[in-house]
Structure 1
Amino acid sequence: MVFAVGRKNQLWVSLIEKALAKTYGNYAILKAGRTVEGLSTLTGSPTLSIDLEYVDLDRDSRNAALDIAIVHEAGHAVAAANSNVRVTGLGVFLFAIYPGAFTEVEPDQLERCSCAQRLRIFGAGIWHNIVLALLGVLILLLIPVLSLPFYSNSAGIVVVDVDPKSGLYGPTGLRAGHHIQRINQCEVRNASDWAACFGQIWETSRPHPAYQKGFLAQFKAVAQMTASNGHIIQDHSDGEVQCCNEFNVSNATHICFRYLAPLSADVQPSEGPSAEKQTTTPKPIFPKFPDFDAEFGVKSDGSALQHAQAVHLRRKRANLKMLRFLVTGQARPVLFIGYLDEPLHMVEVAELTPRFGLIPWWMPRVAELFARYLITLSLAMGILNAVPCYGLDGQFIGATVVDYFCQNWPLSVRKRMSNMLVTSGTVIFCSNILIGFARSLFNNH
């Protein structure tokens, strides 16, 4: 493929490329680009990319587009019926996989209508689109209120999507529908807390020359999983340590630490600015090592702990952050080592979490997405049809406006003015399409 790389779920990529090659003369002239750009070049019209990889999103887009088209054409039909103009046809059609609708009225009866009646008929679809967009705004505002009996907006966040390029993607990472309540020791109640926790973790884990930072855990829990020297493998290229082979566990689910041995009870810390006596409270230990409780803490060098069973764990690679995501319904947390901006920008979350187990997490998301489609597609269809361009409602609206304001002028003059208006609108409309297409090609290069 020269113009675009086609996947198994993309349609007509090779046919579009062949048509472009015929248009330009040969395949050698074609430049790399997206399939939607090539289709726009062939048709001379705006194109919409439908990615079949995201079937649910595309289904919502098609459903919203069909509803908007039906409401738009129904506006023409209702206005025609109110003006005693017979509607001869009303239906829907499918272009490729994208739906549309049409309305046909009796042309002779339409010509006998006054300019005000014709303007009402031609502009009814646009007004219906505006009303539908306002309805979408209302739905978008009411979703949090209507969802309160079944969803909570302060009990954590739910994962909507994870970028495949993220280290959190995969069977051992985060998945759509995961309900996160805590990151390390930071409680997450909503999307604001989700972002604030990363800032808090960054502030508390910044390196300091006089302090060691890591996780506090009970010594007897750590001792039973301490690797012997003969089973420790260190990668000298990046400093990563492998210590899991001795315990028959996977490196994908376990992480190696280096720990500081606790001071005995009779050893007192030396006096000085870096000396500090810390008190810790014994915490319960679960039977298996990966499940024991640990708290992130900051301890000064040479500090003494009141309880000898408490130790300070620190990672070998301090330049990366370790995150523990507490997921509802999972015995073990999801572990992540990397940069903080990765989960912040590559994991999409939502605030509404189900109050009951049988309620699907995605319902508010689908309703919100459908409302946004109603708003954007309705306004787009309304504005597009208002343009005085051939083939759009604006063509007939422009001619009607000319007839209304210039009704005393000769018919030939009025037709000439209408043609000039529609031609100018068509040229401006097509110029915008070409400018947008050229700009997209320039940005790609």
Structure 2
Amino acid sequence: MDIKLGLMIVGVAYCMVYFFDSFFKSCAHYPYIKFLEGTGLKIGLFNLQWTTTAFNRSLLRFGNIRSNTKFLKVWFSIGLIASLILLPIAILLLIYSLVQNFVSSNENNLITPVIPGINLPASEILFYSATLIICSVLHELGHALAAVKEDVQVLNIGVTVFYILPVAYVNLNSENLKSIDPWKRLKILTAGIWHNLLLSFVCYLAYLSLPAILSIAFNTGKGVAIYEASKMSPLIGLKGLEIGDMITKINDCEVKTENTWVDCLHSVNKMNGMCFDPDAVRELDETSILRHLSSGLVECCEETKKGNVCFEFVDKDGSILELPSHVCLPAKTIMSKSEYYCSKIDHKCPKGSHCFIPQLNGSHLFKIRALNKPNIFYMGLTDDFLRTLRVSPYIPKFYFKTPVFAETIRKMLEYITIISLGLAIINVVPCFYMDGQHIISTLLYLSLSKSMNGDRLLLLSSMICLIFTALLIVHCVLTMWPFIF
């Protein structure tokens, strides 16, 4: 199903559910109201909220086990230290990222907001949604466990879904939280950040170890496999590439990983000539009248010869030409006879062959070698490969026909690593509605309570949060502006 159609169906479903919810409430339909109260469900326009106390007893039981109590004390103490170290780093990263918007391109900005369909492929919205729920659940679990450890009441936990983006939350007794020792309060406030940091670190290690973990079912370093292609890709189809094809070579460049795949494609831009045997050239030559084009190139093939390409003969040493300056050759046939490649600048070929440059305006000739398939020949742009094909370094050994399984795991680990770390950084910055707002307030109380009264501390804390909230908003607007307008 197309992602846009799916989102439209979700939107229509939301409208229908919201209509019936409003209708039953306006009629004071008792069974329906009792159902909402019993399930903790709240229905809004394009959002759903669910709260429950069902996990409170389990959290209390886990937190009060003696062995767990000692572990949690050390666990959240480490989390407090890690979060306090992250605080100044996160502030510097925010300021640096904001400055980057004015001095350079924001393509590689360290802190970038992510919006599906704008700077995140809409096709990956399920990865994004799943990552949000995993990261937010573990974040809020940290707050809940730390609260139980410090005898702060957990009122309830829940999940809010904004359209299709889920976010977990936990409600604590604010009076209990304010009344405990400030250092204990900081452990609760930083627990979610600590969990996000640790989750990001663990997933990053898993990402690095994934080739070894999946080595039972997948090879790596032996080529790339096509696992996704655009419907409009000119490379997919009869006598072309297919999903699952394993590519090992492009022209004379060995493809072993994703990086070498990109390097090999770009190398065709430089080494765009081929070395041909003179006898084969004479045998296949179908040259017609030479025509000089406005692009500066020369056309020597008849328009009816669709599979032919005009090649320019590049003399190796400036001596008398052994062949015509331009020859018209059937591209597929002559490419199948060539194993060596050259360029107009460096046109060295093996003894007995000469360098020929195809007269193509921006296009190139590609010879693609795929495992267990004949060579595939293609005339077109490098971007046709980069924009319409997605490849994986995971080559299936058995059972799996395509690398979709491996790529799904890898993509999920990538998302969790980046987004979980991003949530930790943003949450620790002193901004309104973030953990950093309460962290900075508690830190100011610990350091300045003897010299300043409560009202001044609150004012100072609010001013700091206002400044960094404004900086974050300005940065987000500047970063997203090129994508939206």
TM-score bin (small chain) = 0.5 to 0.7
Aligned partner of 2:460 in structure 1 is 420
Aligned partner of 1:375 in structure 2 is 417
Q: How far is 1:325 from its partner?
A: 1.0
**What is the letter of the counterpart of residue 49 of structure 1?**
I
Q: Please give the secondary structure, in 2, of the residue aligned with 1:295.
A: coil
Out of 420, 438, 441, the residue aligned to residue 399 of structure 1 is: 441
**What is the letter of the counterpart of residue 116 of structure 2?**
I
* 2:177–2:185 CA contact under 8 A, matched in 1: yes
Tell me how large the CA RMSD over aligned residues is.
4.8
Q: How far is 1:354 from its partner?
A: 1.9
Identify if the C-alpha distance between structure 1 residues 64 and 389 changes in structure 2 by more than 3 Å, giving closer, same or farther: same
Q: How far is 1:398 from its partner?
A: 2.6
Out of 155, 166, 169, the residue aligned to residue 99 of structure 1 is: 166
Determine the C-alpha separation between the residues in 1 that align with 2:287 and 2:130: 61
Out of 389, 404, 416, the residue aligned to residue 431 of structure 2 is: 389
Whether 1:51 and 2:98 are equivalent positions in the alignment is no
Determine the C-alpha separation between the residues in 1 that align with 2:362 and 2:186: 67
**What is the letter of the counterpart of residue 378 of structure 1?**
S
* 2:252–2:341 CA contact under 8 A, matched in 1: no
Using the TM superposition, name which of 89-98 and 170-179 deviates more.
Answer: 170-179
**What is the letter of the counterpart of residue 325 of structure 1?**
I
Q: How far is 1:89 from its partner?
A: 0.2
Aligned partner of 1:35 in structure 2 is none
Identify if the C-alpha distance between structure 1 residues 193 and 218 changes in structure 2 by more than 3 Å, giving closer, same or farther: farther
Residue pairs, 1:130-149, within 5 angstroms: 130-149=197-216
Identity %: 20
In our comparison, the structure showing a higher alpha carbon Rg is 1
* 1:174–1:334 CA contact under 8 A, matched in 2: no
Q: Please give the secondary structure, in 1, of the residue aligned with 2:249.
A: strand
Out of 356, 359, 365, the residue aligned to residue 407 of structure 2 is: 365
**What is the letter of the counterpart of residue 161 of structure 2?**
L
Determine the C-alpha separation between the residues in 2 that align with 1:219 and 1:318: 25
TM-score of the aligned structures, taking structure 1 as reference length: 0.63
Residue pairs, 1:4-403, within 5 angstroms: 48-51=114-117, 54=121, 56-159=123-226, 168=235, 174=241, 177-191=244-258, 193-195=260-262, 197=264, 201=268, 205=272, 213-216=274-277, 254-256=307-309, 293-296=336-339, 315=358, 317=360, 320-331=363-374, 333-338=376-381, 343=385, 349-356=391-398, 358-403=400-445
Q: How far is 1:434 from its partner?
A: 2.6
Determine the C-alpha separation between the residues in 2 that align with 1:240 and 1:166: 27
Q: How far is 1:117 from its partner?
A: 1.6
**What is the letter of the counterpart of residue 444 of structure 2?**
V
Using the TM superposition, name which of 433-442 and 413-422 deviates more.
Answer: 433-442
Q: How far is 1:415 from its partner?
A: 3.6
* 1:157–1:352 CA contact under 8 A, matched in 2: yes
**What is the letter of the counterpart of residue 215 of structure 2?**
L
Identify if the C-alpha distance between structure 1 residues 398 and 187 changes in structure 2 by more than 3 Å, giving closer, same or farther: closer
Determine the C-alpha separation between the residues in 1 that align with 2:335 and 2:400: 30
Identify if the C-alpha distance between structure 1 residues 62 and 82 changes in structure 2 by more than 3 Å, giving closer, same or farther: same
**What is the letter of the counterpart of residue 421 of structure 1?**
S
Whether 1:429 and 2:472 are equivalent positions in the alignment is no
* 2:430–2:440 CA contact under 8 A, matched in 1: yes
* 1:388–1:422 CA contact under 8 A, matched in 2: no
**What is the letter of the counterpart of residue 333 of structure 1?**
I
Determine the C-alpha separation between the residues in 2 that align with 1:298 and 1:47: 44
**What is the letter of the counterpart of residue 432 of structure 1?**
L
Q: How far is 1:397 from its partner?
A: 2.0
Q: How far is 1:313 from its partner?
A: 8.7
Determine the C-alpha separation between the residues in 2 that align with 1:165 and 1:363: 24
Q: Please give the secondary structure, in 1, of the residue aligned with 2:116.
A: coil
Identify if the C-alpha distance between structure 1 residues 214 and 121 changes in structure 2 by more than 3 Å, giving closer, same or farther: same
* 1:154–1:351 CA contact under 8 A, matched in 2: yes
Q: How far is 1:441 from its partner?
A: 4.2
* 1:216–1:313 CA contact under 8 A, matched in 2: no
Determine the C-alpha separation between the residues in 1 that align with 2:199 and 2:384: 38
Identify if the C-alpha distance between structure 1 residues 419 and 316 changes in structure 2 by more than 3 Å, giving closer, same or farther: closer
Q: How far is 1:99 from its partner?
A: 0.7
Q: Please give the secondary structure, in 2, of the residue aligned with 1:49.
A: coil
Q: Please give the secondary structure, in 2, of the residue aligned with 1:384.
A: helix
Aligned partner of 1:17 in structure 2 is none
Determine the C-alpha separation between the residues in 2 that align with 1:431 and 1:335: 50
Determine the C-alpha separation between the residues in 2 that align with 1:175 and 1:51: 27
Identify if the C-alpha distance between structure 1 residues 171 and 93 changes in structure 2 by more than 3 Å, giving closer, same or farther: farther
Aligned partner of 1:280 in structure 2 is none
Q: How far is 1:100 from its partner?
A: 0.3
List runs of 5+ in structure 1 lacking aligned partners: 1-6, 13-45, 207-212, 261-271, 277-288
How many residues matched? 358
* 2:235–2:241 CA contact under 8 A, matched in 1: yes
Q: Please give the secondary structure, in 1, of the residue aligned with 2:225.
A: strand
Identify if the C-alpha distance between structure 1 residues 56 and 291 changes in structure 2 by more than 3 Å, giving closer, same or farther: farther
* 1:257–1:313 CA contact under 8 A, matched in 2: no
Aligned partner of 2:75 in structure 1 is none
* 2:363–2:379 CA contact under 8 A, matched in 1: no
Identify if the C-alpha distance between structure 1 residues 159 and 274 changes in structure 2 by more than 3 Å, giving closer, same or farther: farther
Determine the C-alpha separation between the residues in 2 that align with 1:91 and 1:304: 74
**What is the letter of the counterpart of residue 477 of structure 2?**
F
**What is the letter of the counterpart of residue 419 of structure 2?**
L
Identify if the C-alpha distance between structure 1 residues 439 and 135 changes in structure 2 by more than 3 Å, giving closer, same or farther: closer
Q: How far is 1:163 from its partner?
A: 7.5
Q: Please give the secondary structure, in 1, of the residue aligned with 2:215.
A: coil
Aligned partner of 1:15 in structure 2 is none
